[in-house]
Chain A
Amino acid sequence: GENVEQHPSTLSVQEGDSAVIKCTYSDSASNYFPWYKQELGKGPQLIIDIRSNVGEKKDQRIAVTLNKTAKHFSLHITETQPEDSAVYFCAAPTPNTGNQFYFGTGTSLTVIP
């Protein structure tokens, strides 16, 4: 969506290395930022989310950081594994709604064994 920019569009890393995907948003009132993973032939699935009252959230090898001042948030995957290969989407709420989202254009991550 026009209010969320996501970079890079493609990313290749060696197995075991880290991957970082960045998104920026425009609505300063946004307060919830999810990340979705889409495997080939499947629908997207939520992997982690963050609310605006925290700056970082971790879940095993994945983490999300949020900088409200700069209006950007990032997904970090450490110790990447081949099964991390997928398309990742960030999202931010549309203005004045709590349950509609603009999605980023996606990042195709390839983890090279």
Chain B
Amino acid sequence: DAEITQSPRHKITETGRQVTLACHQTWNHNNMFWYRQDLGHGLRLIHYSYGVQDTNKGEVSDGYSVSRSNTEDLPLTLESAASSQTSVYFCASSENSGGSYEQYFGPGTRLTVT
């Protein structure tokens, strides 16, 4: 069965370190998204991609970057981790076929920056 996975599931890092969170989907979807989830804020969009070599900034992109070298993967990099980036991160993918806009979410990565 097709799926979307994230790794690691939990990560503790120190302020100032570079961190990369992996996202891999086997749906063959063109659209991929990264969100962060914080209490009181719901899900906020960090970056998104509509296809290979396409990346775009979302609502809260400062301090984050993504790259899309193939259809399956959209890694999220925190260039210099800050305590404000402690959060739960979700990757999602979608394909706008047949009028469906459903996003399929991964299980999340809990990141703690100390």
Contact of B96 among A43, A44, A46, A98 (CB under 8 A): A98
Whether the pair A1, B42 counts as a contact (CB closer than 8 A) is yes
Contact of B42 among A46, A89, A99 (CB under 8 A): A89
Whether the pair B107, A41 counts as a contact (CB closer than 8 A) is yes
Per-residue interface assignment for chain A, residues 36 to 59, with 1 indicating a CB less than 8 Å from any chain B CB and 0 otherwise: 100001111110010000000000
Interface residue tally on A, bucketed by range:
20 to 34
Q: How many residues of B contact A (CB 8 A)?
A: 23
Complex Cα–Cα for A32 and B58 (A): 20
Per-residue interface assignment for chain B, residues 13 to 47, with 1 indicating a CB less than 8 Å from any chain A CB and 0 otherwise: 00000000000000000010101000011111100
Per-residue interface assignment for chain B, residues 98 to 114, with 1 indicating a CB less than 8 Å from any chain A CB and 0 otherwise: 00011101111000000
Complex Cα–Cα for A32 and B98 (A): 14
Complex Cα–Cα for A36 and B35 (A): 14
Complex Cα–Cα for A32 and B44 (A): 18
What is the distance, in angstroms, from A99's C-beta to the closest C-beta of chain B?
5
Whether the pair B90, A44 counts as a contact (CB closer than 8 A) is yes
Contacts of B31 in A (CB 8 A): 99
Q: Which of B59, B94, B103, B106 has the most CB atoms of chain A within a 10 A radius of its CB?
A: B103
Contacts of A43 in B (CB 8 A): 90, 92, 105-108
Chain A: which residue is nearest B33 at the CB level? Answer: A100
Complex Cα–Cα for A106 and B37 (A): 10
Whether the pair B42, A105 counts as a contact (CB closer than 8 A) is yes
Q: Which of B35, B43, B59, B96 has the most CB atoms of chain A within a 10 A radius of its CB?
A: B43
Chain A: which residue is nearest B44 at the CB level? Answer: A1
Identify which of residues 39-66 in chain B touch chain A, using a CB-to-CB cut-off of 8 Å. 40-45, 48, 58-59
Chain A: which residue is nearest B6 at the CB level? Answer: A43
- Other contacts beyond A43-B105, A43-B106: 9, CB < 8 A: A41-B108, A42-B108, A43-B107, A43-B108, A44-B43, A46-B102, A49-B102, A93-B101, A99-B96
